[in-house]
Chain A
Amino acid sequence: MSLVRRLGTAAALAAALAVAAVGCGGGGEEGGTIIRGTTDQPVSYDPAGAYDLPSYDVIYNVYQNLLTIPPGDNKPVPEAAESCDFTNPTTYECTMKDGLKFSDGDDLTAEDVKFSFDRNVEIADPNGASSLLANMKSVDAPDDKTVVFHLKKPDATWPFVLTVASFAIVDSTDFPKDKLQPSDEVIGSGRYTVASYKPGQQTVLEKNTSYTGSDPAENDRAIVQYYDKPSALKLDVENGEVDIAYRSLSPTDIESLRDADGVSVVEGNGTEIRYLVFNLKLQEGTSDAQKLAIRQAVAQTVDRAAIAKNVYDGTVDPLYSMVPQGLQFATKAFADKYGESPDVNAAKKTLADAGVKTPVPLEIWWTPSHYGPASGDEYAEIKTQLDDSGLFTVTLKSTEWTQYSEAAFTNKYPQYQLGWFPDYPDANDYTAPFYAKDSFLNISYDNPEMNRLLEQEAATSNESKRAALFKKIQDIGAEDVPTVPIWQGKQVAAVRDGVNGVEDTFDPSFIFRYWLITKD
C-alpha cells in the first residue's frame, strides 16, 4: 500500500471512530435532574464567608434563615422561625419552629442561630457580610426555642437583614466557630445538600430527605455548571447540555435564543440597577448651583428608553428612581420631575439659568470587566445622547474593575458608572447606601434633610410612615441628582422546553429557588 493510501486510511479510521463516538455519551441527564449553566462563580458556601450572588444562589437552597422572602413577594415571612417581632425598638425576638433538623440529623435549635451570628461576627471574613450586622449589639438564646437580638439603635430593616443568605443558620456541632467551613463540607437544614463542589466546574445539590419545612424540592438533583464565557453557555443551552442558562448572557445572545429550537426565553422582574454617579467635589461647575444644574441637565437629557431598546434589546427597563419598580415604596421620582422622555430644551434652560457655558465637558468613566459585555455600548449610547444635545461634550474613559473600583471611591473620577444588586429587597437598601452622608460612594453629598429622613425611615416599621418618608427621599434624590438611575435589569433565562417553574422564582429577592423547578 502506498504511503499516501496508508495515511488516508488512518485518517478515515480516525474520522470513523470520532463519528462512532457521537451520540454515545453526552450529558446523560436523568429525570429529576435540573442543570443550570451560569457564568457566575461562587466564593464560599459557608454563609459567614459569602457576600456574593453566586454563593447566595446555593446557600438559599441548602440552608434556612430565620426569615425568608417567599416567591413572588417582597416582604419577610418566617422560615425557621415560627414568629418574629420587635418587643421594643431595639429588641427583636424570634420563636423557633418545632422539629427542625439539619441534613445530618442534628436538631436545629436557637443555640445554632446564636452560634451562626456570633461566628459571623468573630470570623469577619474579608469576603463576608458581617458589616451588615454592625447594628447588632448581641444575640441570646435563653432557651432552645427563643432567639433575642439586641440592637444598638432602632432598625426597621432588621427583619430584612435576617433574610440575607450570609445569615443562614449553620450546625453548631459541625461548623468551626473561628474559621470557614470548606464549601464541599457544609451542612444546612434547607431543601438540598451539597453533594459535590468542584470549583470552577460545578456544584451538585441533592434533595435533602431530612427537610422539614414547606415546599420541599420538586426535583431530585440540581446541578450548577460554571462557564467562563457566555458564548459557551449559549451554545450549550441550544444543544441541550444544560436545561437553564441564567446569568449572564449578553443581550445579543438572548435575542438569538428567542428563535432557537427547543428553547424559550423567560423573564421576570429584577432589582439589579445601573446608575451614573457624580462626584460633587470633582465634577464640572464653578459653584454648587452650577454643579447642580449640570447634574439635573444630564438627568433631563439621558434617554433611558433608547438605552433599554438599542443596547439591551429590551432585557432591561428604564429606571426613574434609585429604588427599582417591584419594591415596596418605589416611585418614579425622576420621571415625575423631568419626564420620562428626554427634554433637551428644559436641560438647556436649566444650564442657562445657572449661567453654565455649554457645551459642558464631561469625563465619564466606565468599566468593561464588571458590569457585563454591553457596558461599552451603553456608555457609547449615553455619550451620543449627551453630545447630540449640543449641551455636553463627553470624554469616555475606562479601566478594568479592580483598579476602577478603588479609583472611583477615592476621588479620582468626576462621573462614573456603577451598578447595584440588593442585600435585601427593601427600599432602604437602595437609598441609604447612596444618599447618606457616610455613603460608600464618597462623593461629598451631604443633605441634612435627606440624612434626617433616612434615619427616620430606618427607625420606624410603620408602613404608611415609611411610604411617605421614602417618597420624600426619592424626590430629594431626583432634585439633588447625586446619582442618575439608568436602568433596572429584568431577570432573564433561556430555558429548554419541558423545564418549568423558572419564571416563578424571578422576583425582587433575587433568590434562585431550584426547588420550584421541574422537568417533564
Chain B
Amino acid sequence: MSRHGSLRTYVLTRLALAIPTVLILLTMVFLLMRVAPGNPIQAALGGHVSQEEIERRSAAAGYDKPIIDQYVEYLGDVFTGNLGTTLTDHRTVVSIVVENGSATLELTIAAILVALVVGLSIGILAGRFRDTPIDLAGRLFGIVVYAAPVFFVGFLLQLLFGSTLHWLPTSGRVGPVTEFELDTTTHLYLIDSLISGNWSAFWDTVTHLILPAVTLGLLVSGVLIRLVRVNLMQTMRGDYVEAARARGIRERRVVMEHAFRNALIPVVTVAGLQFAILLGGAILTEQTFNWPGIGSELVRYLNERDYIAVQGIITVFALAVVVVSLLIDLVNAFIDPRVRY
C-alpha cells in the first residue's frame, strides 16, 4: 500500500473511532448528572423555601421528565450544535467555552511554554551530563516538581512573590480595572491588548500570567525532564551519533542537532497530550489563582447541579481532547512511517 493511501486509511479510522468515544463519554456524563441527587433549584433554594415549592418549580422546569426523553433531547441538541443555556445563571454554554475556555487556553499555552523551556533544558543537561551532579540535580528537580501538589506550589509562589516581595499579583487574569477597560475581541488578553495597543493592559496580563503559568508549567516539566533525559541518552547511543563524532563534529552540535532532534519525537507526543489534558482545565491551579478558566466553571456548575452547563462543557472537552490527540497521531504518522494501519 502507498504511503498516502495508508495515511488516509489511518486518518479515516481514527476519525471513525472518535465518534463512539465521544458518544460514550457524553452518555456517561448525562447519566451521572441525572443519578446525582438534586437539581439546580434544590441547590439554589434548598433551606429557604419548602420542599414542596422546590418540587413544584422543578416540575415546572421539566426536571422530572422521563430520563429517556431527556436523553434523546440532549443528544439531539448536541448533534445540532445547540449546547444550551445554563440553568443557574442563564449563560449560553458557547459563551462559557469562548470566554472561560480562552482563559484556560491562554494559561495552558503559557504553561506548556514554561514546561518546554524548563523541561527541555534540564532534561538535555541531565542526559548530556549523565551520572554527574548535574544529572542528579536535574532528576531530583523533576521528581520534586512533579510530586509536589500543584496548589501547594502555587501557594508558596503566591506567598513569596505576592505577599512577601510584592513583586507579582496573586490572582486573576488582569487587575479589576483592566478587566473592565480591555476590549476583548479574541478573549485572549495578551493578543487583545496588543491588538488595541494597550501596553498597560499587556503588562498587567503578563504579570498576572507568570505565577499560574510557572506553577502549572513546573508540574508538566517534571514529566518532560525525565522523558527528554531518557530519550536523549538512548539516541546518543545510536550509530549515527557515533558516526557524527567520528567525523569530528563538536559534541554540542552532536547533542543538539543529531541526538536531541530524534529524542524530541516522543516529547512532542507527550507535550501535546499534556496540552490536551490541560485544556480540560487545570482546576486546582485555576482555583488557587482565581483564574477564570473553564475548569473552575465546571466545578462550580457541578456543585450547583447545572447539568446543562456540565454536559455542554464536557462535550467540548471531549471534542477538544479527541481533536488534539488525533492531530498528534497524525503528526507522528506523517513523521514516522511505522505508525500506520
Interface residue ranges, A against B (CB under 8 Å): 2-4, 7, 10-11, 14, 18-19, 21-22, 24-30, 33, 35, 41-44, 49, 51-52, 124, 126-127, 131, 180, 182-183, 195-196, 198-202, 204, 223, 225, 227-229, 231-233, 235-236, 238-239, 241-242, 369-370, 400-410, 418-420, 438-440, 442
Given contacts A408-B47, A440-B51, contact A7 B42 (CB under 8 A): no
Given the interface pairs A25-B206, A232-B290, A401-B46, the reply to whether A242 lies near B176 with Cβ below 8 Å is: yes
Which of the candidate stretches B65-73, B224-232, B297-305, B322-330 sits at the interface with the other chain? B297-305
Give me 19 other A-B pairs in contact (C-beta within 8 A), A44-B89, A49-B90 excluded.
A3-B125, A3-B255, A7-B125, A21-B207, A27-B177, A29-B177, A43-B89, A44-B90, A127-B40, A127-B41, A127-B44, A180-B90, A200-B297, A201-B173, A202-B179, A402-B304, A405-B43, A409-B51, A442-B51
For A227, what are the chain B residues with a Cβ–Cβ distance below 8 Å? Answer: 171, 290
Contact partner, A126, options B60, B179, B201, Cβ 8 Å: B60
In this complex, which of A2, A7, A33, A418 has the most chain B Cβ atoms within 10 angstroms of its Cβ?
A7
B176, A51: Cβ atoms closer than 8 Å? no
User: Scoring B residues 32 to 46 as 1 if CB is less than 8 Å from chain A, else 0, what string do you get?
Assistant: 000011111111111
Interface-lining segment among B1-9, B16-24, B158-166, B332-340: B158-166
How far in angstroms is the closest Cβ of chain B from A379?
16
Q: Which of A35, A43, A419 has the most CB of B within 10 A?
A: A43
Closest chain B residue, CB of each to CB of A25: B204
Does B172 count as interface, using CB distance less than 8 angstroms? Answer: yes
Known: A3-B128, A24-B200. A225 touches B178 (CB 8 A): no
Task: Please state if A229 and B303 are interface contacts (CB–CB under 8 Å).
Answer: no
Distance between B298 CB and nearest chain A CB, rounded to angstroms: 11
- Cα–Cα distance between A377 and B48 once the two chains are bound (Å): 23
- CB-CB under 8 A from B177, the residues of chain A are 27-30, 33, 35, 223
- A403 pairs with B44, CB closer than 8 A: no
| Given A2-B252, A198-B99, A402-B42, A241-B305 contact (CB < 8 Å) | no
**Which A-chain residue is minimally distant from B291 (CB atoms)?**
A228
Given A33-B177, A242-B176, A409-B51, are A402 and B37 also a contact pair (CB < 8 Å)? yes
Q: With A239-B166, A241-B172 in contact, do A43 and B44 touch (Cβ < 8 Å)?
A: yes
**Which residues from A are CB-within-8-Å of B210?**
18, 21
Q: Is the CB of B41 within 8 A of A26?
A: no
- Measured in the bound complex, the distance between the Cα atoms of B204 and A362 in whole Å is 55
In the complex, chain B residues 49-63 whose Cβ is within 8 Å of any chain A Cβ: 49-51, 53, 57-58, 60-61
> Which A residues lie within 8 Å of B194 (CB)?
none
* Contact call B176/A241, Cβ cutoff below 8 A: yes
B57 touches A126 (CB 8 A): yes
The CA-CA distance from A342 to B313 in the complex, in Å, is: 51
Give Cα A424 to B125, complex, Å: 67
Q: Cβ of B303 and Cβ of A400 under 8 Å apart?
A: yes
Q: A403 touches which one: B38, B41, B50 (CB < 8 A)?
A: B38
Nearest Cβ on chain B to A82's Cβ, whole angstroms? 33
Closest A residue to B57 by beta carbon equals: A126
Q: Return chain A residues, CB-CB under 8 Å to B303.
A: 369, 400-402
A-B contacts, 13 listed (Cβ < 8 Å): A21-B203, A28-B178, A28-B204, A33-B177, A43-B44, A43-B89, A44-B89, A183-B89, A201-B292, A232-B287, A241-B175, A402-B37, A438-B50
Complex formed: what's the CA distance from A219 to B128 in Å? 62
B256 lies within 8 A of chain A by Cβ: yes
A440 with B41: CB separation less than 8 A = no
Docked pose: A152 CA to B269 CA in angstroms: 70
Q: Which among B57, B171, B300, B305 has the highest number of chain A CB atoms within 10 Å?
A: B171
CA distance A213 to B125 in the complex (A): 70
Whether the pair A27, B158 counts as a contact (CB closer than 8 A) is no
Interface contact B43-A200, CB-CB below 8 Å: no
* Known contacts A28-B204, A225-B172, A442-B50, A239 near B43 by CB under 8 Å: no
Our pick among A10, A131, A239, A406 for the contact of B49 (Cβ within 8 Å) is A131
Distance to closest chain B CB from A51 (angstroms):
7
Counting from the closest, the 3 A-B pairs by CB-CB distance are: A405-B46, A402-B38, A25-B204
B256 to A198, Cβ gap below 8 A?
A: no
Measured CA separation A202–B176 after assembly (Å): 8
Tell me, yes or no, whether B180 is within 8 Å of chain A by CB.
yes
Report yes or no: B162 in contact with A24, Cβ–Cβ below 8 A. Answer: no
Q: Is residue B88 contacting chain A, with contact meaning CB distance below 8 A?
A: yes
Q: A22-B168, A24-B207, A33-B177 are in contact. Are A406 and B38 (CB under 8 A)?
A: yes
Give the complex CA separation of A18 and B174 in angstroms: 15
| Assembled-state Cα–Cα distance A347/B206 (Å) | 63
| Contact indicator per residue, chain B 104-136, by CB within 8 Å of chain A (1) or not (0) | 000000000000010001001100100000000
Chain B proximity of A318: nearest CB distance (Å): 22
B221 within 8 A of A: no
A126 touches B61 (CB 8 A): yes
Nearest chain B CB to A257 CB, angstrom units: 12
Bound together, the chains give a CA A201 to CA B296 distance in angstroms of: 11
* B44 close to A440 (CB less than 8 A): no
**A156-B60 Cα distance, complex, nearest whole Å:** 31
Nearest residue (CB) in B for A416 is B47
Q: Are A200 and B300 in contact (CB under 8 A)?
A: yes
A406→B38 CA distance, assembly (Å): 7
Tell me whether B169 is interfacial, beta carbon within 8 Å.
yes
Kindly report which residue of chain A lies nearest to residue B299, judged by CB atoms: A228
CB–CB B176/A3 < 8 A: no
- For residue B311, CB closer than 8 A to chain A, the reply is no
Given A33-B177, A235-B163, A127:B45 Cβ within 8 A: yes
**Bound Cα distance A202, B292 (Å):** 10
Q: Is residue B215 within 8 Å, beta carbon to beta carbon, of the partner chain? A: no
Chain B residue nearest to A20 (CB atoms) is B203
In the assembled complex, the CB of A53 is this many whole angstroms from the nearest CB of chain B, namely 11
Task: Provide the bound-state CA to CA distance between A233 and B287, in Å.
Answer: 11
Say whether B49 contacts A28, CB under 8 Å: no
Q: Is B152 interfacial (CB-CB < 8 Å)?
A: no
In-complex Cβ contact of B91 among A3, A199, A370, A419 (8 A): A199
Tell me the bound Cα distance from A2 to B178 in angstroms: 42
Q: Are A204 and B180 within 8 A (Cβ)?
A: yes
**Contact (Cβ within 8 A) B203 A25:** yes
Chain A neighbourhood of B43, CB < 8 A: 401-402, 405
Task: Let me know if B289 is at the binding interface, CB within 8 A.
Answer: yes
Given contacts A19-B167, A35-B176, A239-B170, contact A3 B252 (CB under 8 A): yes
Cβ-defined contact, B91 with A124, below 8 A: no
A200 CB to closest chain B CB, in angstroms? 5
